[in-house]
Amino acid sequence: MNTPLYLGATELEERSIRQIVSLAMDGPRAANSGHSGTAMALAPLGVALFGRVLRHDPVDPQWLDRDRFILSVGHASILQYGLAHTFGYDVTGDDLKAFRQPHSRTPGHPEVGVTPTVEVTTGPLGQGFANGVGMALAHRVLQQQYGSELVNHHTWVVVGDGCLQEGVSHEAASLAGQLELTGLTVIYDDNHITIDGPTELAFRDDTPMRFRSYGWNVVDLGEASNDLDALEKALIDSKASTRPTLLVLRTHIGYPASSMMDRREAHGSPFDAETIRATKELLGVSQEAFAVDLNIREEWLRNLDHRRSQREEWLTAVRAAGESGVTMLEQFENNGAIANDRPMVPFGAATPVATRKALQKVLDTISSGERGLVSGSADLTDNTGVILSGTGPQSAVQLDGQQVYYGIREFGMGAVMVGMALHGGIRPIGSTFFVFSDYVRPAIRLAALSHASVLFVFTHDSVGVGEDGPTHQPIEHLMSLRAMPNLHVVRPSDANETQRLAADLLRDPHMPPTALILSRQDMPVLADEMAEASQKNAPRGGYVVSEDSEALFTLVASGSEVGLTIEAAQRLRIDHKIATRVVALPCWACFENQPEAYRREVLRRSIPSVAIEAGSTLGWQRYVDEAIGVDSFGMSAPAAYVFDYFNISAAAVVTHVREKLGE
């Protein structure tokens, strides 16, 4: 081997780093896409972390008290795959060769559930940073519940300039500082390069000062990126901090490829053959693409025996904890789902009730003592009905609080919740007004992609917001979220249906990522046979509210508009002798999961149909012939006036049906 390139590295570490740097060039070169330079520069950090500090065991990658590692700079995924292979995880040489190829276990950005060591799905910059805050918050809550003997790990996040420029990182960092989260270390890869060129083109922040203002412990490591002893000391010291820690590490993208170092081309362009040849010669490694030394894996597996003993000691502690240990394991296994099976007290049909108020009644009924629930809001807790009884605010003083006050930080709240859910043992609930789901959308998308059991609660669901006007009245939001794969968008028909569906979701260990869409205004409560139909079939996503064997028309709706279709059906029958049937579709995704025969029976497309919903009509053609809705922005006026102005009324449905039937 040539003269050591990495200070303080043992012979095994030196070989490991050189192998990972080589793979970081080979992967993008073979795929003709990818990011070599960042992975090359961070290889020493990765080896120092995985080899000297990280609490992990490649033999059991998912043991519950392992440290969590998040590569927020997900474009450098080849680094994580190289580390996983080198340290003995189930990532083979063939997996590395399939980098960025169809159906491989080494996709272009890390995806949770695909590759060992990947805790969250990263790529959209800054999201991984906020996920890390969520994981540290989940750790704090669980540690307070079960003690440090059972819950005592650390969260490590690697971020870059892009992560810290994105607004989500500002929000999450501010929240973490306010909470004084321990157990969180963020390593800032300060390489001064973005795709466009030097960061100075667009970025002049004093990052250390910014994080100090948030209340973080900030350590500037300077030019220590290739000094393993210095890296080890900083990493270990950060674990003792009583605040979240930012380690600022000046790196040189593309090191040690002299022709590419500190150049923007090293960020997102595969290296050419000559650069790779020269760099491998400097490294003293094989010129063969994807050459790996399997002895390195075997040596690390032996060297990590003491980490394995940490896992075994933890298992012993769990067994010794008796019932507490069993409860903790069940909480993880059930993803923080509610165990309380206390029945809901139904709302009476005489008094209209806003569905947001019904959600609060659900939490009042079944949340007390539920350790897995963590609920919060972006400064709208009272308005959105997400208050947990029997707990206090999460804070630097009340470490066991399960009520999170996120402040006006919707971007950060969403991503923090995804981190909590993927940590395990926690069922996060977070809320804001529906129109501000735009701010939460990146996290919703990653929750859906990750199958994270997060309950996003969005209230004030339509132009019924009224006087706040078009800036606060959601129009396209329902259809926008319904278009997202894996996401269940649930808009209940009344208060009792809200209770049924919300309780079912919170009790479901495998709850899909869900957006629960609730009304600001009071809504009629279904009665008699209609109420029975709702309770029986609403979980199927669609059901017949009222049926008539002589029906000439089907009226379809969701949410508050179900009440309008019921009123319209009554007027048509009494005033015009026209029989109709009413259908509610509270969850399109749930409905699509039903057998085709059931869906046909509910929709009965053999007769004409119309939908009414206080939002965009785009998409309704999937289920009905025509739709009444709002295809423009709203207006500032009392809610009743706005509904009438946009024809969101029973009268509009009656008129539509009569016209279509030639009356």
Q: Report which of 73, 58, 81 is spatially closest to residue 290, judged by C-alpha positions.
A: 81
Report d(CA 283, CA 256) in Å as an integer: 8
- Write out pLDDT tens, residues 161-210: 999 999 999 999 999 999 999 999 999 999 999 999 999 999 999 999 99
Q: Is 62 helix (H, G, I), strand (E, B) or coil?
A: coil
Report the sign of the C-alpha dihedral through residues 601, 559, 348, 499, in that order: positive
Going from the C-alpha of 52 to that of each of 9, 46, 144, 203, the distances in angstroms are: 11, 10, 27, 34
Q: Per-residue confidence at 1, pLDDT binned at 50, 70, 90?
A: low
Q: Which of 410, 497, 561, 613 is catalytic?
A: 410
In this predicted structure, what is the pLDDT of residue 387? 97
Judged against a pLDDT cut of 90, whether residue 2 lies above it is answered with: no
Which tokens in the block code for residue 586? Answer: 């509270």
Judged against a pLDDT cut of 90, whether residue 574 lies above it is answered with: yes
- Kindly list the strands in the beta sheet with 245-250, ordered across the sheet, starting from the edge strand earlier in the chain: 68-71, 155-160, 184-190, 245-250, 217-222
User: Is CATH 3.40.50.620 correct for 355-517?
Assistant: no
Q: Per-residue confidence at 305, pLDDT binned at 50, 70, 90?
A: confident
| CB 142, CB 399: distance < 8 Å | no
For CATH 3.40.50.970, the residue range(s) in the chain are: 11-307, 355-517
- Write out pLDDT tens, residues 435-455: 999 999 999 999 999 999 999
Percent of the chain scored above 90 by pLDDT? Answer: 98
The mean pLDDT value for 343-347 works out to 96
For CATH 3.40.50.920, the residue range(s) in the chain are: 528-660
> What CATH number was assigned to the domain covering residues 528-660?
3.40.50.920
Output the average pLDDT for the chain: 97
Report d(CA 185, CA 246) in Å as an integer: 6
Q: Report which of 298, 184, 185, 279 is spatially closest to residue 231, judged by C-alpha positions.
A: 185
| CB 256, CB 276: distance < 8 Å | no
**Is 274 marked active-site?**
no
The mean pLDDT value for 612-623 works out to 98
> What CATH number was assigned to the domain covering residues 11-307?
3.40.50.970
- How would you class 548 by CB atoms within 10 Å of its CB: exposed for 0-12, middle for 13-18, buried for 19 or more? middle
Q: Is 470 helix (H, G, I), strand (E, B) or coil?
A: coil
Residue type, 220: D
Using omega within 30 degrees of 0 as the cis cutoff, is the peptide bond preceding 492 cis? no
Q: Report which of 178, 538, 210, 495 is spatially closest to residue 350, judged by C-alpha positions.
A: 495
Report d(CA 596, CA 603) in Å as an integer: 11
The mean pLDDT value for 259-284 works out to 96
